[in-house]
Structure 1
Amino acid sequence: MKDLTHTIYRLMACLLLTVSQLSFAATTEQAVTHLLSFIAQSNATFIRNGDQHTSTEAADHLAMKYHKGKRYAKTTDEFIENLASKSSWSGKPYTVILKDGTKIISKKWLTNELAHFRTTEKPQ
């Protein structure tokens, strides 16, 4: 009976872990989707490997990188760090020129927006 009880507890723990990981994955997806939408709607200019790109082009490029490289972005912070802040080809950081002319590296800009998103949005 004692072995059966331990087995049941282990199964319950595994089930809870699986459910929590699924919830976490959904939250990560929601946050990445938010960041991609934020980028697309920003009307900022993105500098990638010395070339200028529109905000829509940047969002499309990062969505492609995320789709192909999800294994490097298990969390939204990893998405920013590993995919959305620098070129995987050259290693050069992405730069953003905002509508008001402010120049900022994308890592800082996206990290600030993620912090804002986390304090204002509730996961569904």
Structure 2
Amino acid sequence: MKKFLLLSLLACALNAANAEMTAPVKEEIRNLLTRLEQSGCEFNRNGSWYSGAEAKSHLMRKLDYVDGKFTVKNTEQFIDMAASQSSSSGKAYQVRCQGAAPVNSAIWLKSQLQQLRSAGR
């Protein structure tokens, strides 16, 4: 029931319109996930820690799932709806870098997104 509710909320929040996200949004998400992969940080999903490469792979699968099914207008929306919590358990994802305390992935990803955008200016 929880999984169904989460998927339903995802569908509503992303405005199910069967439209692909724009190429710039998709590229920005890929660049952000590459940052995660190369960060040396670990990613917690459902109580287990994974490497940045494994995290990128998992989140790319989620990106592929939402692409074409929902209208994702920007990278922040992807983070909020697909990269911040497990769609199966509802547990928040976390990122832990170099022995620092874990933070919710949404906070970490949005911080990295801001840096990515600043570097591109």
Alignment of 1:39-78 (within 5 A): 39-70=36-67, 71=70, 73-78=72-77
Tell me the TM-score normalised to structure 1 length: 0.73
Question: Structure 1 CA distance, aligned partners of 2:71 and 2:40?
Answer: 27
Runs of 4+ in 1 over 2 A off after TM superposition: none
Count residues in correspondence: 99
When Rg is computed on C-alpha atoms for both structures, the one with the higher figure is 1
Question: Structure 1 CA distance, aligned partners of 2:71 and 2:58?
Answer: 16
Which structure has more RCO (C-alpha within 8 Å, separation ≥ 6)? 2
In terms of fraction of residues, the more helix-rich structure is 1
Tell me the TM-score normalised to structure 2 length: 0.74
Partner of 2:102: 103
Is 2:49 the partner of 1:79? no
Aligned-residue CA RMSD (Å): 1.7
- Give aligned-pair identity as a percent: 32
Question: Structure 2 CA distance, aligned partners of 1:72 and 1:55?
Answer: 26
Asked if the contact 1:73–1:83 (Cα under 8 Å) also holds between the matched residues in 2, the reply is no
Q: Which residue of the other structure, out of 34, 37, 51, is the alignment partner of 1:37?
A: 34
Name structure 2 gaps, 5 residues minimum: 1-20
Question: Structure 2 CA distance, aligned partners of 1:80 and 1:87?
Answer: 12
Name structure 1 gaps, 5 residues minimum: 1-23
